Amino acid sequence: MTERTLAIIKPDAVARGVSGKIIARIEAEGFAIRAMRRVALSKKDAEGFYAVHRERPFFGSLTAFMSSGPAIALVLEAPEAVKKWRQLMGATDPAKADPGTLRKEFAESIERNATHGSDAPETAAYEIGYFFAGMELN
């Protein structure tokens, strides 16, 4: 079944100039990019987006990082897009990520891990709306 997921190329990857390589991999893996935009999250925006993690010890550093520079938000479409994107990203900790995954190749650390992806179709619907509210996605 075709579905959509949100992907974010995080500020660390954008700052290092590897977003084009990540986008090329996304396309090479068969995803259709249905929307893409450069975003500069404020601390408040990042806190809203990651509100589900508010009680976690890493919330402050995560939201500070995500508001530290521009990122690229994308809507990806493919059969089982959520699962497929999470597999392509690899483990959150790049030291534990499988070879060939984006995080193994492009992440600097568990916090500066290059990419974000929705963890379920329901989460994807919410997250897509957060960045692309009111936009018609073809």
Token pair for residue 19? 């977003």
Catalytic residue among 65, 116, 124, 131: 116
- How far lies 83's CA from each of 3, 58, 88, 95, 101, in Å? 10, 24, 9, 21, 13
Is 53 noted as a catalytic residue in this protein? no
> What span, in angstroms and rounded, lies between the C-alpha atoms of 77 and 111?
26
Tokens 């660390």 correspond to 12
> What span, in angstroms and rounded, lies between the C-alpha atoms of 70 and 14?
7
Enumerate the active-site residues. 116
